[in-house]
Structure formats: C-alpha cells, structure tokens
Amino acid sequence: MTAAVQPDHWVRPDPVQVRDEIGRDRLLGMFRKMLLIREFEERAELAYKAKKIAGFLHLYIGQEAVATGFFDHLSPGRDATVTTYRCHAQGLLSGLNPDELMAELYGKATGNVKGKGGSMHFFSKEKSFLGGHGIVGGQVPVGIGAAFSAKYRGTGGVSVTFLGDGAVPQGTFHESLNMAGLWGLPAIVVIENNQYGMGTACHRAVAVADMAALKAPGYGVEAITFDGLDLFASWKAGQRAVAIARANKPVLVEAKTYRYRGHSVSDAGLYRSKDEVERYKALDPIERVQTSLLEAGWLTDDAATTEREAVVERVRAALDFAERSPEPDLSELTRHVYAE
Ligand SMILES: Cc1ncc(C[n+]2csc(CCOP(=O)(O)OP(=O)(O)O)c2C)c(N)n1
Ligand SMILES: [Mg+2]
C-alpha cells in the first residue's frame, strides 16, 4: 500500500546542534510554555472530573512539542493560526491570558469568549488565532482563507492550520490544499498524527502511512515529516515550513505524535494497550527538553523545580480566577449569535 517516500521529507536534526541554534533563553522560554500547557490541562482534567467544567474536554497532553515548536517562529497578530477542538495549547501559545482561558472552560462571563464556547472554541481576533473548531476538517478552509487574505493584502503573514489525522480523509482537506497549491498561498498545514481518530487507529482510516509525503505532491505543495515528540525536530520543521510559506509556497507537514490521554476525558481507551501508552510516555517531550537543558548547563535541578513551581502557581491563580468569576448573565443568551 505504501509508496516510496522521499527521505528528504524528514526533518531529523541533531538535537545538540539545534539546541545551540535556539540558544538558552529561547529554549527556556519554550520549556516554560510546554510546562504551562501541561499543568493547565492536568488541572483542567481534575476540575472536569470534579464537575466544575461541563461539556467536552480534549487534552493535548503528549503533543505539546508540535504546537510549541511551530509557534516559536510566528508572530501572533500577523501570522494566523487555527486548529481543532483540541485547542488549549494553541490558545496559550497565542499569548492569551490563562485566567481567561480557564474561565472559558468553566463557562464563566470572564472567559475568553464570554463563557459561550467552552473548551473547544478559544478564539482571538487580536492574536489572529482563528479558533478551535468542533467540525473535523472544518478549520482547514479557514486556515487557507487566512493565507489567501495575507497574500491578497500583502501583509507578509503566513497561516498555520493544525488538524488531526482523522481530518485527512475529509473533502475539505483536499479542496483546501488544491487551492493553496494552485494559488501559491503562504499556508502551512500541520497534520498532528497522534495515531488515532477517536478510537479508530489511523491505519484503518487513511490509506497511506506517510500522509504529508504522499499527499503533498498531488497538490503541488512541499512536504515535511518529523517526530512530533521531539521539540528540536518540531522547531526545525517549523523553521523550514515558515521559510517556505513566507516565499508564497504552501507546505504540508506531518508530525508523528501521540496523545497520552483518551480522545476526550470521557474516553475509556479500550482500543489501545497500556504498554503502548507507557512506551510513548517514556519519550515525553517535556522531560526530554529538561534533560537537554540540564546537559547544556542551562538549567540546574533546583532551577527546574523553581520553574515547575512557578507554573503550578500561575495555573492555581487561573483556577482561582475562574472559580471567583460570575456566570454569564441571562441577557447574554442571544448576544454574539450574529454580527452586531
Ligand atoms: C465532520 C465531523 N465528523 C465527525 C465528528 C466526530 N468526531 C469528533 S473528533 C473525531 C475524530 C478526529 O480525530 P483526529 O482528526 O485524528 O483528531 P484528534 O482528536 O486525534 O486530535 C470525530 C470523528 C466531527 N466532530 N465532525
Ligand atoms: Mg488523531
């Protein structure tokens, strides 16, 4: 079934070289962001189980390196991003306030979208974060539209569209990539292949294993593949993708990654073995960055503990803010349904 894949689609950098290229402060910055995303979601999971958060909750735990490596090359406000319902990391990386994001999970009036969207629908016009989207594949035309807009207006911006492997067989994905290739749009499309669409293994849903490498040529767009559990690979892949897109060439990227939690918090996970999950947990992207920082002498054990405590404190403050915030007023029910 699998056709030959060009080896140069793979971005497999030497981690020590990339670490030096990134530099101490920038790498520490990404480390902090990944810690914040992880802590934010672990605490949200507990709040959900305590019935403080209703609706759905899809966690990104395990996938943090993918969005973190790409966002490091973007300027929110100029470059647009859009993703799925699994949108907490992208919201935080856009620079949105953790207080408002947590309050959104709680459905409070102070939330990022006034408590009306919940976990799946973070959004910010100012940061050009065009949202979390619940319809599988629904965000892909939005991301391509943002790339069209950037080129048409001559802003120099690019768009980054994140999607799951489960969206690859959707019509919207193919129609959008065709337009991106046809019109030479500054579009980066990142498939976060976490190996499952809900409980369906990828190989039972998508005809080819190397999705970017094999599908990109059909639309005249470039392809990049990388290990999504490795921040250094993600950062290099993001660097290459952004350089391509800024020259008005679209690029299709596949991150081979894994989610440690179920599809959503209510998923019992009966479709995969505990051993499989443990195997991937041993490759944890955050632990690997910490090890690399320690090896470089850019972090000590004590400083790592301090970093982690700071993040725990930040998320605790966000939880307090969410808890203390009021419910939306009943008069809000019909507002923001149509443009006002
Ligand atoms: C058009 C559409 N069909 C079905 C669903 C139900 N659904 C929600 S998530 C999902 C699986 C998506 O998996 P994937 O794209 O791999 O993303 P992941 O959850 O793994 O990040 C499905 C089928 C939906 N939301 N939208
Ligand atoms: Mg998936």
* pLDDT tens per residue across span 271-312: 999 999 999 999 999 999 999 999 999 999 999 999 999 999
Length of the chain: 340
Atom 18 of ligand 1 has which residue's CA nearest to it?
164
pLDDT-derived band of residue 313, with 50, 70 and 90 as boundaries?
very high
d(CA 114, CA 264): 23
Is 136 close to ligand 1, i.e. is its CB under 6 Å away? yes
Residue with the two structure tokens 């596949």: 254
How is residue 212 written in tokens?
A: 């970017």
| Ligand 1 pocket check for 132: Cβ under 6 Å | no
Q: Quick check: 265 pLDDT over 70?
A: yes
pLDDT at 1: 41
What spatial distance separates the first Cα and last Cα of the chain, rounded to whole Å? 52
CA 118/CA 323 separation, integer angstroms: 15
As a whole number, mean pLDDT of residues 250-274 equals 96
Q: Considering only CA atoms, which of 333, 317, 292 is closest in space to residue 20?
A: 292
For the segment 60-87, the average pLDDT, to the nearest whole number, is: 98
Class (C level, CATH) for 8-324: alpha beta
**SS3 at position 193:** strand
For residue 336, is pLDDT > 80? yes
| Residue nearest atom 8 of ligand 1, based on CA coordinates | 136
Average pLDDT over residues 198-218: 96
CA of 166 to the centre of ligand 1 (A): 6
Q: Per-residue pLDDT for 181 more than 80?
A: yes
Confidence label for 248 from pLDDT (cuts 50, 70 and 90): very high
In this predicted structure, the answer to whether residue 187 has a pLDDT above a threshold of 60 is yes
pLDDT in tens, 77-119: 999 999 999 999 999 999 999 999 999 999 999 999 999 999 9
Reply yes or no on whether the pLDDT at 41 is more than 70. Answer: yes
State yes or no: pLDDT of 261 exceeds 90.
yes
- Mutate which of 59, 61, 120, 136 to test ligand 1's pocket (most atoms within 8 Å of Cβ)? 136
| Residue 339 pLDDT | 83
In the three-class reduction of DSSP (H, G, I as helix; E, B as strand; rest coil), residue 306 is classed as helix
Under 8 Å between Cβ of 289 and 33: no
Atom of ligand 1 nearest to the CA of 192: 21
Give residue limits of the domains in the chain.
8-324
- With a 6 Å cutoff on the Cβ, whether 166 touches ligand 1 is yes
Distances (CA, A) of 37 to 59, 248, 306: 10, 31, 17
